[in-house]
Amino acid sequence: MPRRLAAAAAALMLAVTFAWGAEPPKTPAGGGGDKRPPLAIDKLTYPPLHDIKVPEVVRATLPNGMKILMVQDHELPVIQLKAVIRGGRVAEPQNRNGLVGLFAEVLRSGGTASMKGDDVDVFLERIGAEIESDSSEAYTTLSAKMLTSNLDEVLPLYAEFMTKPAFAQDKLDLAKTQAMSAISRRNDDVMGIARRESLKLVYGAGSPYARQVEYDDVDAIGREDMVAFHKEYYRPDEVILAAWGDFKAADMQKRLAEAFAGWKAEGPKPEIQQPFIFPQEPSVNYIEKKDVEQTFVVMGELGLRLDDPDYPAVAMLSDILGGGFSSRLFVKIRTQKGLAYGAGGWMNPGYDHPGAFFFFTSTKPSTTHEAMAAMLEEIKAIREAPVTDRELKKAKEGYLNGYAFDFDSTGKIINRLMTYDFYGYPPDFNTRLRDAVEKVTKDDILRVAQKRLDPAALTMLAIGKGSEFDQPLSTFGKVTTIDITIPEPKPKEVIPDPTPETLKAGTDLLLKTARAAGEQALRGLKEMTIEGATTVKTPMGEMEIKGTSVLVLPNRLHADASTPMGTVTQVVDGERGWFQMGPTVKDLPESTVGEMRRDLYSEAGCALLLKQVLEGKLQGQALGEASFEGKDSQAVVVRLEGQPVTLYLTPGGQTILGLKQRAKTQEGPQEVTEVFDGWQVTSGLKVPMASSQKVKGEVKTSSKLSRVILNASFSEDLFKRPPEPKKE
């Protein structure tokens, strides 16, 4: 099995369970919501909920300006701490996009001035304690949990993480690798695409509430940025620290004062500019994604803050329109029309900035327009007439019954109070909100629907196969096609522009290599069958994958891989691709198909590449002499589907020693070095029977071929996509 395809098979093990559902059968109208006849359950009445008893909160300010909230809870011998530090993503410098996310990761993993991060892990695991860090739009957090008996051991370490984090370089490097890996996979998850692109449409692509981190952003962040951010924003007078659990408040206040006694605020507080939100422009948008079976639809619009006087009515409006199985959107799209398994929406408020309305569904491509029109119909209808008594009653009961769950633990209560403190809300805000919800009327909902929800202002986004839509999206307005291609990182080494001389020299070298490899065999090559085994290093350890691949030139592949989890089949047939494991058959992401198709050029010692050089379809650009794995070589760059690949040839051009290219790995995009060895002649073609791939000098895969067969017969059935099993 080809080397990269074996690695891809290992990665695909994690994706096998990911499935998109088929369309449900249509059902008669009246299946839910307000359009069914009343049932006996609707006649049930319930007594009013008991008032929530908020435990006593002791508030204090330490001598250094740190605000603390304390709640005594002696039910269990456990103590928890959580600090909220002002300065989240909204505080990132413009040229350091993604800094806060990495900062929050490395704050904890990077250890402290006195203890390495790995040693902290061992220490905390031994005593059953936790220290964690996180980030959000407006702040970062540092939390701890411990047994009461371990407070004297954990509190000094917790304070040191707050005041003297080490930001170890190796942990920053690891966090950056993980961030780049996440970027490389972000277009594989259609729900993730829908979420991030909808946020961009509502808030603007440059807003901290929607900004996207790219490879070059991650690459630009260094340890010095972590240190500078900590120095500017981590100061005691910008911290709210909550403590709850098995302690006496007076004693805890004393301990916290002692733990942070040496930490002083210096200079004026940093100014954090609240991001400006530009007026939203209505739009119709399309993202082509051929590797999904459904169209994913999201409509969005700017909303309001949580403390807006209109919010209680908007919350009820949101629930009635899209909040559950009986919501209007669900009943219309799923129950009455049978267009999707789910549909709904919500208004997500912000504490210090306007939130947003979002409405969503997914449907087969041939009913995309119908589903979108149905969504708009329900959004318009709720603005034209009051909701029913039953709808309002159900929405209120849902909110008020769920209200108790916001206060069912001391931790939830104190976290909510700390959040209110941070944003300047009154401590009893939730009680005020509950009381306001109870007073919402049908007229209130109609008023806010007309005021706050404008169908003409919506941003509309459809993701899928536009060629299969029942009607063009342009029936809703002018369509903007969004390009979600992940920008490649800037190359570390800049390849000089080609000249006629370097192109001729490079192509001549490759022609020599092709002739030495077997010109007649290459010209007659139509397909090849490769059998072998590959050892892949994964996060779970080494994995041996045995397999057989059939390559049909120029861009078709059928690969069967035998893994410890079962047999995986991967197929690339030109522009499309899929994989199968057991009964599961799923499309491969477009990015994976493109990468696998490009990799076909280098199989069997770059046979396809050399064939295209002989046929005049591919040129090389000579880069001159170079050292490759300690050997003298001639470097020649070729561009395969727009991506540069550097080949390293023996000085006379007789043999390809290996190649380098940027490719997706388990660690994100990296420069991958491939080394060829064990050359043998089979059917007149010189082929390397052994190879290895290295990333950052470490061997990640090693392969040995057992057999290579040229131009054997193959069945077209290999490239027929098997049907998915029928759902019961």
- CATH of residue 564: 2.50.20.10
Contact yes or no for 55/366 (Cβ under 8 A):
no
Reply yes or no on whether the pLDDT at 480 is more than 80: yes
The CATH number given to whatever domain includes residue 219 is 3.30.830.10
Task: Provide the pLDDT for residue 50.
Answer: 57
How far is residue 144's CA from residue 80's CA, in Å, rounded to a whole number? 6
Does 454 share its domain with 498? no
For residues 696-716, give the mean pLDDT. Answer: 92
Does 556 share its domain with 591? yes
Point out the domain boundary residue: 211, 228, 259.
259
Does 204 share its domain with 232? yes
Does 396 share its domain with 289? yes
Specify if 360 maps to a domain.
Answer: yes
Reply yes or no on whether the pLDDT at 80 is more than 70: yes
* Strand pairing report for 139-147 and 58-61: unpaired
Q: Which residue has the higher pLDDT, 250 or 14?
A: 250
Contact yes or no for 471/278 (Cβ under 8 A):
no
Q: Which residue has the higher pLDDT, 485 or 541?
A: 485
Point out the domain boundary residue: 481, 501, 525.
481
Specify if 90 maps to a domain.
Answer: yes
Specify if 284 maps to a domain.
Answer: yes
Point out the domain boundary residue: 459, 481, 503.
481
Give the number of domains in the chain.
3
Task: Provide the pLDDT for residue 55.
Answer: 81
Does 496 share its domain with 468? no
Task: Provide the pLDDT for residue 17.
Answer: 28
Does 603 share its domain with 530? yes
Reply yes or no on whether the pLDDT at 63 is more than 70: yes
Reply yes or no on whether the pLDDT at 6 is more than 80: no
Reply yes or no on whether the pLDDT at 29 is more than 70: no
Q: Which residue has the higher pLDDT, 622 or 671?
A: 622
Contact yes or no for 412/344 (Cβ under 8 A):
no
How far is residue 511's CA from residue 524's CA, in Å, rounded to a whole number? 16
Does 400 share its domain with 301? yes
Specify if 19 maps to a domain.
Answer: no
pTM of the predicted model, to two decimals?
0.79
Specify if 27 maps to a domain.
Answer: no
Q: What is the residue-averaged pLDDT of the chain?
A: 90
Task: Provide the pLDDT for residue 723.
Answer: 81
**Using the 8-state DSSP alphabet, how is residue 291 labeled?**
T
Specify if 635 maps to a domain.
Answer: yes
For residues 623-635, give the mean pLDDT. Answer: 95
Contact yes or no for 30/36 (Cβ under 8 A):
yes
Task: Provide the pLDDT for residue 20.
Answer: 29
Task: Provide the pLDDT for residue 28.
Answer: 34
Does 551 share its domain with 693? yes
Task: Provide the pLDDT for residue 725.
Answer: 62
Reply yes or no on whether the pLDDT at 709 is more than 50: yes
Does 348 share its domain with 460? yes
Task: Provide the pLDDT for residue 4.
Answer: 46
Lowest mean pLDDT among 33-47, 144-158, 367-381, 635-649: 33-47
Q: 3-state class of 394 per DSSP?
A: helix
Residues 107-117: tens digit of each pLDDT = 999 999 999 99
Task: Provide the pLDDT for residue 318.
Answer: 96
Percentage of the chain beyond pLDDT 70 is 91
Does 40 share its domain with 69? no
Would you call the peptide bond into 554 cis, given omega within 30 degrees of 0 as the criterion?
yes
Q: Which residue has the higher pLDDT, 662 or 76?
A: 76
Residue 406's pLDDT band, with cuts at 50, 70 and 90, is confident
Task: Provide the pLDDT for residue 556.
Answer: 94
Specify if 523 maps to a domain.
Answer: yes
Reply yes or no on whether the pLDDT at 12 is more than 70: no
Domain extent, residue 405, equals 33-44+279-411+426-481
- 665 backbone φψ class: left, alpha, beta (φ>0; ψ -120 to 50): beta
Task: Provide the pLDDT for residue 591.
Answer: 78
Lowest mean pLDDT among 83-97, 171-185, 456-470, 486-500: 486-500
Alpha carbon distances (Å) from 573 to 495, 532, 576, 608, 717: 32, 22, 5, 16, 12
Specify if 374 maps to a domain.
Answer: yes
Percentage of the chain beyond pLDDT 90 is 76
Does 372 share its domain with 243? no
Q: Which helix (H) or strand (E) holds 397?
A: helix 389-403
Does 134 share its domain with 173? yes
Residues 507-539: tens digit of each pLDDT = 999 999 999 999 999 999 999 999 999 998 876
**Using the 8-state DSSP alphabet, how is residue 22 labeled?**
-
Reply yes or no on whether the pLDDT at 499 is more than 70: yes
CA 204 to chain centre: 19
Reply yes or no on whether the pLDDT at 254 is more than 50: yes
Task: Provide the pLDDT for residue 46.
Answer: 58
Lowest mean pLDDT among 44-48, 341-345, 704-708: 44-48
How far is residue 133's CA from residue 235's CA, in Å, rounded to a whole number? 16
What strands lie across the sheet with 58-61, from one edge to the other?
Answer: 58-61, 67-72, 239-245, 78-86, 139-147, 130-135
